[in-house]
Amino acid sequence: MAEEKDSMLPPPPSPASGLKYRRIILKISGEALCGKEGGFGIHPETLLRVAAEIAELQRMGVQIGIVVGGGNIFRGLKGASAGMDRSQSDYMGMLATVINSLALQDALEKQAVPTRVMTAIEIRQIAEPYIRRRAIRHLEKGYVVIFGAGTGNPFFSTDTAAALRAMEIQAQALFKATKVEGIYDRDPQRHEDAQMFNRLTYDRFLVDKIGVMDSTAVTLCRENKLPIRVFKLTTRGNILRVCLGDDIGTVVGEES
């Protein structure tokens, strides 16, 4: 059935000139989809706006893999702190990411963007199982690929899933869309004079225990020299700007 659909697809868009990145992983936290900090569920307008920006990027010929979090629905750590078994609780968190993935797929399809959801835990009735080579093939054909269910393993996060998938599909960068402009020397919501870094090394990020992204994900990126750009999702046009190579937010990378 998938092959029949593929043959009906228009050829993938050719890359627009001026693009810095041809293949990327975009990590979107669950919280970003609920429209407000600490909120619950999915905010339809926010979802559509994010989808519209991704659609624009796809039409410019960028190959896009997306990893969505689940924090707007359920987080494993929260369940565990309320007395649940941690693994059980994490599996619930992973299922939450699948709900978000399906919502994002729907919103992208409304924008006429061909989209596949691939899950690290098999749920064949609603999504394809994750198979690396197939994911790459989808990207080459112009599909946006949403990776659901994180890594498929408890005790991990979707940040780590994003780093892992980025390595596997040989993405050129990992874009982490957050609620703040970038990485600061202290919490910008509590300290008015907080300074944003334009650039940060992996080592500094890890030594300073910066909480924007989990350390397992950053370690994986460091070992494979994959640059991470942290930027604000809710600023209109930001997703496009980072792909065009605009120097917004904070880059985490090597020394120079």
Q: How far is the CB of 220 from ligand UDP (least distance, A)?
A: 12
Binding window for ligand UDP (CB under 6 A); candidates: 6-14, 151-159, 176-184, 226-234: 151-159
Distance of closest approach, residue 94 Cβ to ligand UDP, in angstroms: 5
| CA 191 to each of CA 195, 199, 248: distance values in angstroms, whole numbers, following the listed order | 9, 20, 21
DSSP, res 16 = P
The Cα diameter of the chain in Å comes to: 57
Minimum distance from CB of 81 to ligand UDP (Å)? 11
Work out whether strand 228-232 and strand 199-201 pair parallel, antiparallel, or are unpaired: unpaired
157 closest CA partner among 226, 213, 210, 209: 213
Nearest position to ligand UDP, beta carbon? 69
Question: d(Cα 77, Cα 81) in Å, to the nearest integer?
Answer: 6
Among 25, 30, 55, 139, binds ligand UDP (CB under 6 A): 30
| Sheet architecture: strand order including 63-68 | 128-129, 115-119, 144-148, 63-68, 23-28, 173-178, 228-232, 250-253, 199-201
Q: Rounded to an integer, what is the distance from CA 65 to the centroid of its chain?
A: 7
Rg (CA), the chain: 17
**178 annotated binding-site participant:** yes
- Smallest gap from Cβ 241 to ligand UDP, in A, equals 22
Nearest approach in angstroms of CB 242 to ligand UDP is: 18
Q: Which of 24, 25, 31, 253 binds ligand UDP (CB under 6 A)?
A: 31
Would you say 118 and 135 are in contact if contact means Cβ atoms under 8 Å apart?
yes
Which part of the chain contacts ligand UDP (CB under 6 A), choosing from 63-71, 121-129, 174-182, 247-255?
A: 63-71
Which residues, 64 to 123, sit near ligand UDP by CB under 6 A?
69-71, 75-77, 90, 93-94, 96-97
Is residue 214 annotated as involved in ligand binding? Answer: no
| 216 annotated as ligand-binding | no
Question: How many residues sit in the footprint of ligand UDP (CB under 6 A)?
Answer: 23
Report the alpha-carbon distance of residue 28 to residue 1 in Å, rounded: 29
| CA atoms of 81 and 87, how far apart (whole Å) | 12
Least distance from C-beta 131 to ligand UDP, angstroms?
Answer: 17
What residues between 153 and 192 interact with ligand UDP by CB under 6 A? 153-154, 156-159, 161
Q: Which amino acid is at 169?
A: I
The annotation places the binding site at 27-30, 70-71, 75, 90, 151-158, 178, 184, 187
The annotation places the binding site for ATP at 27-30, 71, 75, 178, 184, 187
Q: Which residues bind ligand UDP (CB under 6 A)?
A: 29-31, 69-71, 75-77, 90, 93-94, 96-97, 150-151, 153-154, 156-159, 161
The annotation places the binding site for UMP at 70, 90, 151-158
